[in-house]
Amino acid sequence: MKYTRIPNTDIRISKICLGTMTWGRQNNEDEAHEQMDYALDQGVNFFDTAELYPVPAKKELYAVTEELIGNWFKKTGNRDKVVLASKIAGPGYAAKHIRSTGFSKESIISAVDDSLKRLQTDYIDLYQLHWPERNTNYFGQRGYNAHAVDVWDDNIHQVLETLRDLIAEGKIRHVGLSNETPWGTMRYLEESKVHQSLPRMRTIQNPYSLLNRLFEVGLSEVSMREQIGLLAYSPLGFGVLSGKYLTEIPPRKARVTLFPNYNRYSGDTAVQATEMYAQLAKEHGLSIAQMALAFVNTRPFLTSNIIGATSMGQLKENIESIDVNLSDEVLDGIEKIHKTIPNPAP
């Protein structure tokens, strides 16, 4: 395994992060525990979860993923071997069964306390805001709708104050963003620069893959100049970049088959690009999945690459991508395809 650090901290994390969003829906508890056992044995010491998980979010399954992780900690005693990240859900339809009060002081405190109980731990290493409260573009929205109704009052100072107090109490160690824009990222960073008692956002968890490289536009410069590290999610585009959906009959238990509305990586141009990437990988004796993951691993703004799997075979292949070195010829081929079909799946 290869390791990095959460920027400007002493926390050493694996460059491959174990994602958990299928646990409790597509994977049962035994399978989740098997994945954690295996990942840790392979040197993966960074696990990412959220109160929203499993997804698609469902009231009856609220926060089950955190409970499964907590049960594993209790069973194995491995809490001190894992750098643990979780998130508070933002407002909106996907989280209507959780709360409607956004990132108010009471909401953040309650969310952290409840996650700690479910995770059966005294602290969370990295606590993230899952998505913004304000009207902006994330979760596949291509453009900013300037005419949308937005009742958001700028509460970023108050959010950081609440997180500061939770850090002082020892309940969380560091904080991060997710599904954030360049404006939002800089707004948080500048607030903590002006008010130095406030905590600084250390990471940003956004989508990044061969099918969606929009992080490179704006956010990559912010990431590198401000030292806020990317935690790349959906590096295989909901499994599309494994090539498994290129068959005439889609795999029966796969995510996009089970949940057709998870289709942001499945449009015609995304499929066309995937076919081109699959051909490039084949020409160089690589699996498309490992080529796609290895590409993400090479990015200079990457802190960790969040992989997720529903089978042990997938998990093994994904983790092994850390040892795949892409030749200049492969990287040049990737750039040619990207120029032909740039960012087909935002």
Nearest Cα residue to 167 out of 137, 129, 210, 197: 197
Rounded CA-CA distance 257/252 in Å is: 6
Q: In sequence order, which ranges of the chain are alpha helices (DSSP H)?
A: 29-41, 64-76, 105-119, 156-168, 182-194, 219-226, 255-258, 268-283, 288-297, 312-320, 328-340
Exposed, middle or buried by CB within 10 Å (0-12, 13-18, 19+), for 240?
A: buried
Count the neighbouring beta carbons within 10 Å of the beta carbon of residue 5: 13
**Does a structural domain hold residue 250?**
no
Total domains in the fold of the chain: 1
Closest CA to 298 of 8, 61, 4: 4
Q: Is residue 182 packed enough to be buried (19+ CB in 10 Å), middle (13-18) or exposed (0-12)?
A: middle
Q: What is the pTM of this model?
A: 0.96
Residue 345, in any domain of the structure: no
Does residue 341 sit within a domain? no
- The three-state secondary structure class of 93 is helix
Query: By C-alpha distance, which of 166, 63, 46, 55 is closest to 113?
Result: 166
In a domain, 284, yes or no: no
Query: What distances in angstroms separate CA 157 from CA 9, 146, 191, 239, one per listed residue?
Result: 22, 23, 7, 38
- CA-based torsion, 88, 153, 206, 91: positive or negative: positive
| CATH number for the domain harbouring residue 304 | 3.20.20.100
339 domain residue, yes or no: no
Q: Give the pLDDT score at 261.
A: 78
**pLDDT(249) > 80:** no
| pLDDT score recorded for residue 248 | 64
B/e letters for 214-229, b = 16+ CB within 10 Å, e = fewer, are bbbeebbebbeebebb
Nearest to 20 by CA among 11, 12, 31: 31
Residue 258: the pLDDT is 77
pLDDT at residue number 256: 75
Domain range holding 99? 3-236+300-324
Identify whether 76 is part of a domain. yes
- The answer to whether residue 16 is domain-embedded is yes
Angle between helices 29-41 and 312-320 (to 10 degrees): 20
CA 129 to chain centre: 11
DSSP code per residue over 232-298: EE-TTTTTGGGTGGGSSS--TTSHHHH-TT--TT-SHHHHHHHHHHHHHHHHTT--HHHHHHHHHHT
pLDDT in tens, 94-146: 899 999 999 999 999 999 999 999 999 999 999 999 999 999 999 988 888 88
Q: Give the per-residue pLDDT at 253.
A: 67
Amino acid at 128: Q
Beta strand 172-178 pairing with 16-19 = unpaired
Q: Express as a percent the part of the chain with pLDDT over 70.
A: 99
Structural domain includes residue 252: no
Convert the pLDDT of each residue in 146-189 to its tens digit: 878 788 999 999 999 999 999 999 999 999 999 999 999 999 99
pLDDT at 228 over 70: yes
38 catalytic per annotation = no
Give residue-wise pLDDT tens across range 184-219.
Answer: 999 999 999 999 999 999 999 999 999 999 999 999
Q: What sign has the CA pseudo-torsion 112, 116, 119, 125?
A: positive
- Selecting among 38, 53, 208, 245, the annotated active-site residue is 53
CA atoms within 13 A on the CB side of 83: 23
Q: CB–CB of 57/15 below 8 Å?
A: no
